[in-house]
Chain A
Amino acid sequence: MKAYVSVFRLRFINSLQYRAAALAGIVTQFAWGFMELLAFSAFYRVNPAAFPMTFQQTVNYIWLQQAFLAMFMMWYFDFEIFGAITSGSIAYEMVRPLNLYGRWFSQSAGTRMAKCLLRCPLVLAVALVIPGPLRMSLPPSAGQFALFVLSAALALGVVVSFSMLIYISAFFTLSPAGVRVITAAAVDFLAGGVVPLPFFPDKLRAVAELLPFASMQNMPLRIYSGNIAGTAALEGIALQAFWLAVLMVLGRLWMRRALKKVVVQGG
């Protein structure tokens, strides 16, 4: 366990070095969230009654989404891992006395968290003070906030364990770019990355909410503003824990199979 924590820490510190890039990222994400919200306001003006969540909840959802982009979006891949598989440096990884699944898991979780921690405070700080209807609000209660933190941690786990499946698939395809783009687009869509799940048509929404993808950003972002509260929140968190367990078991099994007949690329 200690080794994995070190891998996590190493990654974390490493990613903290890129501060200028982070500043540019903050500006980008802020502008992005602002534009998204302007679009939602336009729809809100058309028909406030057709809004499936309150406008304030939508505002909170979008700002949190931008702030935690690096943590929850599937397309933030760790290209070092793909590189290890396609270039053959996997051989070095395999002689290390660490479980490869655990090592890569902590590595990508660490990268995601560091990227996010660099960026989110400023985005959130600005979002919390801008005047007007686009200001983000504080969570309704301390209890709700605690649930949000718990749910966010689980969501990160689900995102990372799902991305592990994509990394492992690179053992078999070797040229993972196309698969990666397609999966990431589909996953992020079903996770509420393009449009929050409540805006989905009802039938599709009912199905989507049970899928593992709804256990990604959808759950914590909606818990924060109270769109999901009380027992519904606890149920949601239980579902997240369930999917996390399933995905991790699947990933480990698949990894073991992949490593049994791994071909080391390159020379």
Chain B
Amino acid sequence: MKLYIKYLAIHIKSQMQYKVSFYLMMAGYFVVSFSMLLGVYFMMSRFNTVDGFTFEEVLIGAAVTMAGFAIGEGVARAFDMFPVVISNGEFDRMLVRPRGLIFQVMAAKLELSRLGYIAQAAVVLCYAVPASGIVWTADKIITLILMIVCGGTVFCCLFLIYAALSFFTIEGLEFMNVFTDGGREFGRYPFSIYGKEVLKILTYVVPMALFQYYPLLYLIGRETGRFYMFLPLLSLLFVFPAYGLWRLGLRNYKSTGS
């Protein structure tokens, strides 16, 4: 942990060397997510509700997804570039170091400009949390925090899976974007609007609905069972297949020999 903080400090220092570019990048992500939300606003002001959700309720779900994505990408961004790490032989050097591999890969790059997404998510939450008409009791605040933290973990796992797959092939990994970038894009609406089949996939295969849709139902009072409050925790089970795949890939790893 201490080492990780040290790495973090180095990354902050190095990215702060190009201040203008850093802030512009952050602003960039802010604008990207803003344009997405503007789209939601246009649609919602035309139709008022979708699948029974109001604009503010949709926004809470969107902000949770965005914050989760930002945490996931900020922390695990390095996995996104893992194919390069493998092909330039950097990974072989990591193998001989006396530290955990996941830790090394993760610490090698931290993308702080993703704070732009977090800022946007915070702004949206500041608006939507009071405007939604939800009475914010302690249990609901806990639910919201669980949603964001577990969302971040699920996105981290997705990036880990991406890296694990690149042990086997480096071609054609673009389809993973459906889950990573797609998760962020489509998480702007509660996942139920995409229909039952998609919701099932997002519940049992890639558990994104577990940290977004179901707890959202609890937040807005459509479901009152405590069960829904703790469903985000269930999405943490996704860590096991993700880690398993990583181990499997690692066992199959043959150096690129450079």
Contacts and interface: CB of A to CB of B under 8 A. Distances in A.
Contacts of B35: 185-186, 188-189, 194
Interface of B: 18, 20-21, 23-29, 31-32, 34-36, 38-39, 42-43, 45-51, 171-175, 177-178, 182, 185-186, 189, 193-195, 198
A94 interface: no
A35 B194 contact: yes
Given A38-B193, A182-B24, A199-B46, A32 B171 contact: no
Contacts of A199: 42-43, 46
A131 interface: no
Contacts of B50: 42-43, 46
Q: Determine chain B's interface SS by DSSP, over half rule.
A: helix
B28 A185 contact: yes
Interface stretch (A76-84, A173-181, A256-264): A173-181
Nearest to B46: A50
Contacts of B171: 20-21, 24
A52 B47 CA distance: 11
Nearest to B44: A43
A21 B170 CA distance: 9
A177 B178 contact: no
**Which of under 10, 10 to 19, 20 to 34, or 35 or more describes the interface residues of A?**
35 or more
A90 B17 CA distance: 26
B193 A42 contact: yes
In this complex, which of A23, A41, A46, A186 has the most chain B Cβ atoms within 10 angstroms of its Cβ? A46
Given A39-B186, A181-B32, A188-B35, A201 B42 contact: yes
A181 B189 contact: no
B23 to A, nearest CB: 7
A28 B38 CA distance: 24
25 contacts: A24-B172, A24-B174, A25-B174, A27-B175, A27-B178, A28-B174, A28-B175, A32-B185, A35-B198, A38-B195, A42-B50, A42-B193, A46-B48, A47-B48, A50-B47, A175-B18, A178-B24, A181-B24, A181-B28, A182-B31, A185-B28, A189-B38, A199-B43, A199-B46, A201-B46
Interface string A30-46: 01100100110111001
Contacts of B198: 35, 38
A181 B29 contact: yes
B172 A20 contact: yes
Contacts of B193: 38-39, 42
Contacts of A50: 46-47
A188 B32 CA distance: 10
A46 B39 CA distance: 17
Nearest to B33: A185
A122 B226 CA distance: 47
A25 B174 CA distance: 6
Contacts of B27: 178, 182
A29 to B, nearest CB: 9
A186 B195 CA distance: 30
A172 interface: no
A46 B49 contact: yes
Task: For the complex of A and B, list the 3 residue pairs with the smallest distance between their C-beta atoms, beginning with the closest.
Answer: A178-B24, A181-B28, A24-B172
A41 B49 CA distance: 13
